[in-house]
């Protein structure tokens, strides 16, 4: 019965999506399409998840969703978001460190930091500041589509001179209108009492669906939502992160630990090349699986030799690793699992398997990076995949480390056009960024190890929406039931009163 209800609910959502598209086309695109970017219109017609995000944020009221889409797409055209790049934002804005993406909350949502004390109200720079926030949001939306954000307003040492109500209202509109379902929660830390009145105004701007997402906490309670590893020391955390620009600080992915210790990345390799060449004799005595550059070798020959050496122990490496059950179909590689690396809850279930399958006619180079390189060992973390073949990558927890929902994995892949490519580190230096395909996964620990079910994020959101609608219907039924019970009681009392009066009237005087 539950499956039937869910199926009917999904059909209702699909009908709402089609109705929204058709009505938007008839009611908003008839006169002119110049007020929208054609790329946004194309996404609206092809991406069901985008339309559903507007609908669910407006509780599936199509009229409200249409107004939201219209306002959102006009704003995107006005700010040129599809073409907005780093060089189009004034450099001094990045250098202030007032706004940036860094770290994750305890639920695994990315943190969007606003250090209020660094903000100064200035009408001349208002538009640039709005574009700056839009740049970060659009950058994250493209990197982590469908994943929510947690906004943190750090109000330490801030005062009334730092509060720009117009700017705050713009930030709220970004999540209320322009990026639906993007906001996980908004945490205001260390708010001075003198600003209570200002934030009461802010609450009035938030819709009922967002009020519950607003959290006012002193710094002593910030750890309730954010782990110490991503909380700065002045808020009670241990995060050593210090903002600096360039580069942009939102790329948390680093090279993971190899079987013989940390693997040297291609960036580090170049700076250490001279030192390594002087130590060729010493380095040759160590296991060659560490990706360093002690000598120049042909990558294809090295890959084939490594493949021959590994054939005997592949079954040993993959033994005990949790097999993926979902697959992401990519242009270069099919990636299994599609979204989540799963680890069991037992001590013996500390391995997870990533399977990459080459769907091209050329070699595809790949490398795996993670936001927690000190916790995970990845083998192989960097290699290539032959046409039509698959590569098993074993991800194992290091020592007594525990899986966290904040942990992310990035799989980077690029097609190798010529067979005689140089070694892999050199290839990654030379390949254009436009040719690199990226795929992101999260880690997940199951509470029950003997049976697991992975539910994609969008399906979870659909189920939550259906549950909300069901809860509303149940509440309505309960209210009607109470009214009916009240009416029945009134009728019973009236009947008793009539019987009493009839009885008294028939008694002899």
Domain co-membership, 417 together with 273: yes
pLDDT at 283: 38
Domain co-membership, 378 together with 431: yes
Domain co-membership, 136 together with 213: yes
Comparing 36-45, 71-80, 342-351, the range with the smallest average pLDDT is 342-351
* Cβ 146 vs Cβ 49: under 8 Å: yes
CA end-to-end span of the chain:
65
The CATH number given to whatever domain includes residue 295 is 2.60.40.10
Is 310 among the domain residues?
yes
Q: Using 50, 70 and 90 to split pLDDT, how confident is the model at 474?
A: confident
Is 474 among the domain residues?
no
Distance separating alpha carbons of residues 246 and 91, to the nearest angstrom: 9
Is 247 among the domain residues?
no
* Cβ 300 vs Cβ 459: under 8 Å: no
What's the rounded mean pLDDT across residues 454-482? 71
What's the rounded mean pLDDT across residues 42-67? 90
How many structural domains are present in the chain?
3
Domain co-membership, 261 together with 206: no
Residue whose structure tokens are 């525990």: 402
Share of the chain above pLDDT 70, in %: 75
Domain co-membership, 22 together with 114: no
Domain co-membership, 204 together with 303: no
What's the rounded mean pLDDT across residues 475-485? 86
- Cβ atoms < 10 Å from Cβ of 94: 21
Is 405 among the domain residues?
yes
How does DSSP classify residue 157?
A: T
Q: What is the pLDDT of residues 304-314, one digit of tens each?
A: 454 455 555 55
Domain co-membership, 269 together with 408: yes
The CATH number given to whatever domain includes residue 112 is 3.40.525.10
Distance separating alpha carbons of residues 158 and 433, to the nearest angstrom: 40
| Cis-peptide, bond into residue 398, ω within 30° of zero | no
DSSP E strand stretches across 116-252: 149-154, 183-189, 214-217
Domain co-membership, 314 together with 407: yes
Is 87 among the domain residues?
no
Which of 140-144, 287-291, 425-429: highest mean pLDDT? 140-144
Is 30 among the domain residues?
yes
Question: Where among 445, 479, 494 does a domain terminate?
Answer: 445
Which of 101-115, 293-307, 395-409: highest mean pLDDT? 101-115
Domain co-membership, 300 together with 347: yes
Is 74 among the domain residues?
yes
Q: Using 50, 70 and 90 to split pLDDT, how confident is the model at 253?
A: low
pTM (global) more than 0.85: no
Distance separating alpha carbons of residues 265 and 65, to the nearest angstrom: 46
Is 468 among the domain residues?
no
Task: Give the residues across from 112 on adjacent strands.
Answer: 101, 151
Question: Where among 82, 105, 140 does a domain terminate?
Answer: 82
Q: What is the pLDDT of residues 379-409, one digit of tens each?
A: 888 888 888 888 888 888 776 777 777 778 8
Q: Which range marks the domain in which residue 397 is found?
A: 257-445
Question: Where among 31, 48, 82 does a domain terminate?
Answer: 82
Comparing 153-162, 195-204, 368-377, the range with the smallest average pLDDT is 195-204
Domain co-membership, 264 together with 342: yes
Rounded to a whole number of angstroms, the CA Rg of the chain reads: 29
Q: What is the pLDDT of residues 59-91, one digit of tens each?
A: 889 999 999 999 999 999 999 999 998 989 999
pLDDT at 274: 40
Domain co-membership, 98 together with 78: no
DSSP 494-508: HHHHHHHHHHHHHS-
Domain co-membership, 436 together with 291: yes
pLDDT at 448: 35
């Amino acid at each position: 019965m539950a499956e039937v209800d869910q199926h009917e609910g999904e059909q209702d959502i699909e009908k709402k999506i089609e109705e929204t598209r058709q009505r938007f086309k008839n009611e908003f695109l008839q006169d002119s399409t110049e007020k929208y970017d054609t790329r946004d219109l194309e996404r609206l017609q092809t991406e069901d998840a985008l339309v559903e995000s507007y609908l669910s944020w407006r509780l599936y009221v199509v009229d409200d969703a249409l107004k939201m889409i219209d306002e959102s797409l006009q704003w995107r055209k006005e700010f040129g978001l599809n073409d907005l790049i780093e060089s189009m934002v004034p450099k001094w804005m990045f250098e202030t460190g007032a706004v940036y993406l860094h770290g994750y909350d305890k639920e695994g949502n990315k943190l969007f930091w606003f250090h209020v004390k660094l903000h100064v109200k200035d009408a001349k720079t208002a538009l640039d500041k709005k574009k700056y926030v839009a740049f970060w949001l659009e950058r994250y939306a493209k990197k982590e589509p469908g994943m929510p954000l947690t906004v943190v307003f750090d109000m330490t040492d801030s005062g009334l001179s730092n509060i720009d109500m117009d700017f705050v209202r713009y930030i709220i509109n970004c999540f209320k209108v322009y990026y639906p379902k993007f906001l996980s929660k908004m945490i205001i830390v260390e708010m001075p009492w003198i600003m209570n009145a200002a934030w009461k105004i802010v609450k009035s701007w938030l819709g009922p669906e967002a009020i519950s997402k607003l959290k006012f906490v002193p710094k002593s309670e910030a750890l309730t939502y954010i782990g110490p590893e991503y909380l700065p020391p002045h808020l009670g955390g241990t995060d050593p992160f210090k903002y600096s620009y360039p580069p942009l600080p939102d790329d948390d992915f680093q090279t993971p630990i190899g079987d013989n210790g940390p693997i040297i990345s291609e960036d580090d390799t170049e700076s250490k090349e001279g030192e390594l060449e002087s130590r060729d004799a010493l380095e040759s005595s160590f296991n060659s699986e560490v990706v360093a550059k002690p000598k120049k070798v042909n990558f294809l020959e090295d890959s084939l030799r490594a493949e021959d050496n590994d054939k005997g122990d592949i079954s040993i490496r993959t033994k005990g690793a949790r097999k993926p059950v979902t697959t992401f179909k990519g242009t270069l590689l099919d990636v299994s699992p599609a979204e989540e690396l799963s680890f069991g809850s037992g001590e013996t279930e500390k391995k997870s398997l990533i399977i990459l399958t080459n769907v091209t006619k050329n070699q595809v180079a790949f490398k795996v990076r993670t936001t927690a390189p000190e916790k995970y060992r990845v083998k192989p973390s960097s290699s290539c995949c032959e046409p039509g073949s698959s590569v098993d990558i074993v991800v194992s927890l290091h020592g007594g480390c525990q899986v966290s929902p904040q942990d992310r994995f990035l799989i980077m892949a690029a097609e190798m056009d010529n067979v005689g490519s140089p070694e892999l580190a050199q290839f990654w230096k030379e390949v254009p960024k436009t040719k690199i395909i990226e795929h992101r996964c999260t880690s997940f620990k199951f509470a029950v190890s003997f049976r697991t079910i992975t539910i994609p994020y969008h399906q979870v959101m659909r189920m939550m929406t259906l549950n909300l609608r069901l809860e509303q219907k149940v509440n309505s039924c309960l209210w009607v039931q109470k009214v009916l019970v009240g009416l029945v009681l009134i009728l019973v009392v009236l009947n008793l009163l009539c019987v009493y009066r009839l009885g008294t009237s028939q008694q002899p005087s």
